[in-house]
Amino acid sequence: MLLAGCATVPTDPAARAEYKRLNDPLEPTNRAIFGFNEFLDKALIRPLAEVYHFILPNFVEQRITVFLRNVGEPLTFVNDMLQGQPNRGGMTLGRFLSNSTLGIGGIFDVASEFDMPRHNEDFGQTFGVWGIGEGPYLVLPILGPSTVRDGFGTAADTFADPVTIGINQANVSGLSMGRIAVTGLDARARNLEMVDQLRRESLDIYATLRSAYRQNRRSEVLNGAAPDEGENSAPGFEEYEDLDSPSTLTPQNSEPIAPSSETPAPSTNAPASLTRP
């Protein structure tokens, strides 16, 4: 982040405008980390996800997904309230209580049948609602696309998640890390074909994911509302497939994306987030 703050801003008006639009002063470093993430995914994470998807029946895999998302509801509730959204917070709390009881410990999403649709909130979104700018684009090792603001948000999610706090107080060794690992593996398994398609059809997958990630996050901060006119964001971008959990390569957009220097990703409706379960 210090390097990003010290990056030289071009003086040429056209170059300066492009610099601000991309907001990626650490691109060489980001691309190096992205390359490492790609190598790790192809060598380890994707094969593990394939095994996970192959050995688990679809019903069992779906129950794991629903359970992991239910475990994430308390963090969403905290952020709903911090964003001044008590109605959404009440719905999140209702979802958690309904699914944890009637949903047999959270393995069934009965709340959606009661007209309580799921949504996700995290501290990165909360900081955005508070008016904190996203800052330069960052690629984090293993975690993947981020920004300075979302990097701080990820740290806050880790320390302020009520479920994580409860696990740590119970002193259950390794459970928090196990939850993170299973969440990421489950999300990666549900995006096998989509990520392969992105790799095949994107001339520059780094630029494609950079554009898609930013548009997705701006949409999430606005709770799906249209951005103000002139904001650098494309309308109609759909949510990542599992932005609830750490993932390196999981945008929900599954149609071919023609890469360019930050060409907006087309809008699609793909099945639901690697975004946070």
Closest CA to 66 of 240, 215, 183: 183
Residues 241 and 271: beta-carbon distance below 8 Å? yes
- pLDDT < 50: residue spans in the chain: 1-7, 229-277
Which pLDDT score, from 0 to 100, does residue 252 have?
A: 37
> What DSSP designation does 41 have?
I
Which pLDDT score, from 0 to 100, does residue 239 have?
A: 35
Which pLDDT score, from 0 to 100, does residue 11 have?
A: 65
Cα separation, 244 vs 107, in Å, equals: 17
| 3-state DSSP helix/strand/coil % of the chain, to nearest 5 | 55, 5, 40
Question: Which neighbouring-strand residues pair with 146?
Answer: 138
Residues 148 and 135: beta-carbon distance below 8 Å? yes
pTM listed for this prediction: 0.76
Closest CA to 69 of 121, 123, 114: 121
Which pLDDT score, from 0 to 100, does residue 81 have?
A: 98
